[in-house]
């Protein structure tokens, strides 16, 4: 893709657009079009002073220390905080000189457009064997929307190959928090040529906070990222909430178990409706059905938004309902799509 051919990326979560398309749909809408935990971390009480002053460097350092411990980084100096991982997806291409970039796909569309917008030569490929001589490789792990995972050791080997030609490996681990031990690249970061992006809001159900992290052992890359992000990028309330949540191992463990149970329930519901489960993570399921687009429209008329894919007409991605009432509405709506 070149900069002259860039088109906006379609995203989930646009309830306003869904209301315009299905004006007669019942309220409230159930948004299953995003991979956001429907059971949000309980926001602790916040001191009013957090809203009245600029973020303090000591508090931001504590946030990075909590993130380093949670994700397995060696220290807080390897962590760069940002207003969401989406911001980092757009920033990293700005600070890298023009390169041939391979993005493992199909995947989250903002990676392709962000690199192309900055003048890089971008190709989307289907496997590691197709990276060839590219100087930059971008991999979402686990992948969105397929849930495909690549072993950390394979990624470390790829980073080593890229380092030999002055390249960079970008690993987007936005959905990695509930994966098994050893799945993340962070605990054994390559010495150079690699940066890992982490999302806070998806796992903790607080996407509106806009908090994310870049993690790298490349000190120069850290400095460039911080310079590009600028001062006070993460608001003081987000720093306080993020620090508390990242330190709360008990909540994260319980959330993992609850989400695994919810995924099993959703799989059964979808399979009973004629879907084939073809991928997913703890936060979404990817399913295939010959009538996927028609089913998405029927669900929309029932006030339920799911994620469809123009290039994959048989695919739908389902997030998880957040309450028993939402589960029952989804079950009833799916039953109406049979036949």
The percent of residues above 90 in pLDDT, for the chain, comes to: 93
Q: Compute the mean pLDDT over every residue in the chain, rounded to the nearest whole number.
A: 95
Residue 144 phi, psi (nearest 5): -115, 115
pLDDT tens per residue across span 312-325: 999 999 999 999 99
Give residue 255's pLDDT band: very low, low, confident or very high (50, 70, 90): very high
User: With bands split at pLDDT 50, 70 and 90, how would you rate the model's confidence at 182?
Assistant: confident
Q: Is the separation of the CB atoms in 138 and 103 below 8 Å?
A: yes
Q: Give the strand order in the sheet containing 194-199.
A: 79-82, 212-215, 194-199, 168-172, 136-140, 100-104, 121-125
Separation of alpha carbons 111 and 286, rounded Å: 20
CA of 323: how far to CAs of 26, 37, 107, 177, 283, in Å? Answer: 17, 12, 29, 22, 15
Q: Are 299 and 305 in contact (CB under 8 A)?
A: yes
* Domain annotation for the chain: domains and CATH numbers: 3-40+250-335 (3.90.1150.10), 48-247 (3.40.640.10)
Supply 215's token pair. Answer: 């993690």
**pLDDT tens digits for range 32-87:** 999 999 999 999 999 999 999 999 999 999 999 999 999 999 999 999 999 999 99
* Residue 266, SS3 per DSSP: helix
Per-residue pLDDT band for 9 (boundaries 50, 70, 90) equals confident
The 10 Å Cβ neighbour count of residue 132 is 10
The DSSP symbol for 50 reads G
Angle ∠(182,266,111) on CA atoms, nearest 5? 50
- 45-76 burial: b if 16+ Cβ within 10 Å, else e: eeeeebeeeebeeeebbbbbbbbbebbebeeb
Is residue 103 helix, strand or coil? Answer: strand
Note the pLDDT tens digit of each residue in 211-252: 999 999 999 999 999 999 999 999 999 999 999 999 999 999
Whether 180 has a pLDDT exceeding 90, the answer reads no
CB within 8 A of 114, min separation 6: which ones?
89, 90, 92, 93
Whole-number pLDDT of residue 5: 57
Banded pLDDT at 18 (limits 50, 70, 90)? very high
pLDDT at position 192 is 80
Contact 6, 116 (CB under 8 A): yes
Buried residues in 301-330 as b, exposed as e (16+ CB within 10 A): ebbbbbbbbeeeebbbbbbbbbeeebbebb
pLDDT at 290 over 90: yes
């Amino acid at each position: 893709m070149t900069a002259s051919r860039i088109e906006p990326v379609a995203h989930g979560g646009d309830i306003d657009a869904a209301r315009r398309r299905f004006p007669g749909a019942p309220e409230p809408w159930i948004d299953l079009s995003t991979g956001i935990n429907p059971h949000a971390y309980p926001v602790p009480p916040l001191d009013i002073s957090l809203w009245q002053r600029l973020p303090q460097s000591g508090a931001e350092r504590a946030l990075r220390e909590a993130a380093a411990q949670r994700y397995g980084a060696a220290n807080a100096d390897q962590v760069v905080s940002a207003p969401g991982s989406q911001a980092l997806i757009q920033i990293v291409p700005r600070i890298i000189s023009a390169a041939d970039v391979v993005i493992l796909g199909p995947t989250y569309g903002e990676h392709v457009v962000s690199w192309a917008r900055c003048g890089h030569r971008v190709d989307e490929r289907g496997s590691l064997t197709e990276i060839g001589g590219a100087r930059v490789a971008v991999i979402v792990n686990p992948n969105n929307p397929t849930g495909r995972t690549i072993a950390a050791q394979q990624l470390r080997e790829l980073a080593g190959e890229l380092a030999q030609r002055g390249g960079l490996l970008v690993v987007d681990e936005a959905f990695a928090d509930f994966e098994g031990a050893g799945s993340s690249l962070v605990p054994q970061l390559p010495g150079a040529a690699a940066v890992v992006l982490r999302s806070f809001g998806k796992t903790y159900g607080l996407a509106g906070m806009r908090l994310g992290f870049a993690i790298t052992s490349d000190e120069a890359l850290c400095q460039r990222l911080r310079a590009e992000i600028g001062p006070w990028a993460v608001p003081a309330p987000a720093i306080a909430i993020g620090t508390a949540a990242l330190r709360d191992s008990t909540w994260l463990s319980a959330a993992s178990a609850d989400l695994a149970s919810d995924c099993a329930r959703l799989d059964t519901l979808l399979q009973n409706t004629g879907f084939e489960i073809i991928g997913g993570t703890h936060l979404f399921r990817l399913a295939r059905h010959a009538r996927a687009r028609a089913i998405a429209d029927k669900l929309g008329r029932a006030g339920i938004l799911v994620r469809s894919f123009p290039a994959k007409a048989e695919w739908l991605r389902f997030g998880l309902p957040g309450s028993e009432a939402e589960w029952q509405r989804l079950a009833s709506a799916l039953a109406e799509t049979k036949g």
